[in-house]
A and B are shown apart, each in its own frame.
Chain A
Amino acid sequence: MSEPITREVFNHLVELAALELTPDEAEYLRRQLNNQLTAIDDLNQVPLDPDTPVASHGVPYTPATSAPIRADEWHPHPDPAKLLKGAPEVDDGYIIVPEIPHQDLD
């Protein structure tokens, strides 16, 4: 069986996905992805009329069933300190992260 997701394609996906994988994990996941693609290929059996629209959701939303769009206004959170409690590293109300890769511009 041909494998659309070759090691090269797979490694690119891993990079895009911001993951790191052990060799065993990579082999298992790549095999599963290719198996899933075989199942997905069944979609090619569906005759699609060029007019068939895409459906990003199933239930139609109409003005009668939807809340009006809210005004685009910001509201202060009542307790920002509580939100920051979940952050792995905080200093004086700021979230601390490792050095951000950057290039100095000329």
Chain B
Amino acid sequence: MKLHELTALEITQKIKARQVSAEEVLDAHLRRIEAVDGLPGRLDGDSSAEPSKVHAFITLTAERARAQARAVDEKLAAGQDLGPLAGVPVTVKDIFCVEDTPSTAASKILANFNAPYTATAVERMEAAGAVILGKVNLDEFTYGSSNESSAFQPAPRNPWDTSRVPGGSSGGSAASVAAYEAPLSLGTDTAGSIRQPAAFCGVVGMKPTYGRVSRYGLIAFGSSLDCPGPLSRTVADSALMLQTIAGADPRDATAVTVPVPDYVAELEKGVRGLKIGLSPEYFQITYLDAVTGKLETQPVPDVMKNAVLDAAQRLAAMGAEIVENVPMPHTRYGIPAYFVISRVEAASNLHRFDGVKYGYRAQAGITDLRSMYRRTRAEAFGPQPKLRILMGMYVSAAQYSEQYYNRALRVRSLLRRDFDEAFAKVDLLLTPTTPTSAFPIGGLYGDSVLMQYADQLTVPGNHAGVPGISIPAGLDADGLPIGIQFLGPDFSEDIILRASRAYEVATESESWRQAKPALAE
């Protein structure tokens, strides 16, 4: 097997067994990136450049990575203990600060920002021996489900079909893992931003419980919703990475003190005795019809539904009890509540970008401080941040907040209650991850409402704070990956990973498991 096709677990085992050096592993991944990634995203870049390349990266930090790989090799030579991620190449969504590297949020307003410190999740991976390859692209400030809104173009493309989006907002993360540029990536999930691109790119992506992973050093979007988490090609690799990044952090008061279990040790324990629920509300989507302006409800495509039912059957055969018709009555309200809550939080978080302390400052036509603020934000925010700021201002304004913001927060209680009541009856819920497979580039971009509905089956988990995962579950008729999702109660990541691993074992001999994106080198 080629070195760039190894999993993270295999890489650390081979390095520790001295079968390969960390530097050789790094070189193999750098060669792969050179072969398939093409131009990195840059400001004013051409969105249509090199249409058969992946374009996952904004900043490749090869020298920094080499220093880290050499440090692993030197430690091994000196007989010192290596960390659990020793020599594993990792990409990082460019929404995390990494000291002395550009940390752009895929926005012009931070294009010149070199972070003065490192995010906790990255710092923990580095301490565990990981080799950070660099920063990968995303929707501007994570605001999107396709990566098309990045100010750094060309934006990432789906490795399975480069005319399609990789999903988002952790699109560069999912694309880099699917394209074998790295076995692991660190993403974030505010409405589905890890799980949806993982489903679109045929990889594993986990949104941990809110508070399971520190948000220190994460450029904030929706502070009550944002969750850092892993993307990988195997369930075991996500378990390994989560193990490293989870846990309390004195620099983030919302990072909980709940002990972190040994996720990897729990993986092979199977699903015997687990109750796994199916909910009718997760087999349909409700969306605003662009033509009629009315809400329409449709079943999810058969291929999505059948993937879930097939998984349920396989898990039942392994000893799980399948419980049908678990009611989740408020699921459809996840998106409208999100349109309110996330916008209020985003508007608040985006006020810090003002051209004063860091980032872009407009130069021309400035008469005073206020005009500098306005001009800077006008020139350097793209349409998606502007939309979120304006909506956040509107729905939280004194005269409207009762009607919108407070109502949405109360609906959020009901979304949480749906999960509390479901998890009183079942251990996990099994659902489709997305209502469609990857859509064509340009297919939805510009319609901010339809784009948001891509997250309909993932966003309720963010409102409730519960953990979820998307795992690959086959290919559709166009050869595009589809994902299935497990959701569980607070801090049930160990059980979610176990069930995901059981499904992986149950489908080991399926032909789609052997399929790989056909990328021209």
Contacts and interface: CB of A to CB of B under 8 A. Distances in A.
A57 B465 CA distance: 7
A101 B369 contact: yes
Given A65-B258, A98-B368, A33 B224 contact: no
Interface in A15-44: 16-21, 25, 28-29, 32-33, 35-36, 38-44
B79 interface: no
B395 A16 contact: no
Closest 5 A/B residue pairs (Cβ): A58-B465, A86-B358, A59-B465, A88-B361, A54-B409
Contacts of A20: 374-375, 377-378
A16, A43, A55, A64, most chain B CB atoms within 10 A: A55
Contacts of B452: 36, 39
B390 A17 contact: yes
Interface string B448-486: 110010000000001111100000000000000000000
B413 interface: yes
B387 interface: yes
A20, A57, A59, most chain B CB atoms within 10 A: A59
A83 interface: yes
A41 to B, nearest CB: 8
B293 A54 contact: no
A46 B250 contact: no
B357 A87 contact: yes
B295 interface: yes
A105 interface: no
A98 B368 CA distance: 5
A40 B393 contact: no
Contact of A54 (B253, B257, B330, B406): B406
A42 B332 contact: yes
A103 interface: no
Contacts of A19: 374, 377-378, 381, 386, 389-390
Nearest to B357: A87
B355 interface: yes
15 contacts: A29-B390, A33-B391, A48-B414, A52-B413, A53-B410, A57-B254, A58-B224, A58-B462, A59-B490, A65-B258, A66-B256, A67-B248, A67-B255, A86-B113, A88-B360
Contacts of B439: none
B370 A58 contact: no
B448 A36 contact: yes
Contacts of B408: 40, 43
A64 B490 CA distance: 14
Contacts of A46: 330, 333, 407, 411, 414
Given A25-B383, A54-B410, A66-B257, A17 B393 contact: yes
B283 interface: no
A42 B410 CA distance: 14
Contacts of B416: 55, 58
A97 B356 CA distance: 7
B336 interface: yes
Contacts of A18: 351, 354, 370, 373-374, 377
Interface string B128-146: 0000000000000000000
B366 interface: yes
Given A53-B413, A58-B416, A21 B355 contact: no
B389 A59 contact: no
Contact of B449 (A13, A35, A57, A101): A35
Contacts of A70: 250, 253
Contacts of A39: 288, 335-336, 339, 449, 452
B93 interface: no
Interface residues of A, number: 58
B390 A14 contact: yes
Contact of A101 (B368, B383, B409, B413): B368
B30 interface: no
Interface in B29-47: none
B404 A40 contact: yes
A61 interface: yes
Given A54-B406, A59-B209, A65-B258, 15 more contacts: A17-B389, A19-B390, A33-B391, A39-B452, A45-B333, A46-B333, A52-B413, A58-B224, A67-B248, A86-B357, A88-B359, A95-B356, A98-B368, A99-B367, A101-B368
A87 B463 CA distance: 35
A88 to B, nearest CB: 4
B448 A55 contact: no
A32 B408 CA distance: 19
B495 interface: no
B174 interface: no
Contacts of A64: 257
B409 A55 contact: yes
B387 A40 contact: no
Contact of B211 (A29, A59, A88): A59
Given A18-B377, A36-B339, A48 B358 contact: no
Given A58-B463, A67-B248, A101-B368, A87 B356 contact: yes
Contacts of B286: 42
B507 interface: no
Contact of A89 (B114, B224, B361, B370): B361
A21 B490 CA distance: 43
A103 B504 CA distance: 68
A61 B47 CA distance: 44
Interface in A72-86: 79, 82-83, 85-86
Nearest to A35: B449
